[in-house]
Amino acid sequence: MKALDRMAVKVTSIEQTSSGEVIKATAADRNIEVELDAPTANTTLIRSVARRSSLFVDSSTAVEIIVQTEKALGA
């Protein structure tokens, strides 16, 4: 959440899943989905997808979300 706030991304919903959560957000003309999955107590997997439309994926924004999350965690 801290990384999304720093990037001025508006969170629209947070859904709990069986192993983590899915954060849905918007920024400019992009719909963003960040999935956090905790397969073990010491491991968290993050998957980020930013879409401009149903056909176009913005991989640079998705990667930047992961980079900013890593910075926020102090890694």
* b/e per residue 22-60 (b: at least 16 CB within 10 A): ebebebeebbbbbbbeeeeeeeeeeebbbbeeeeeebee
pLDDT at 62: 94
pLDDT at 28: 87
For the stretch 1-48, pLDDT in tens is 789 999 999 999 999 999 899 999 999 889 999 999 988 888 889 999
pLDDT at 75: 60
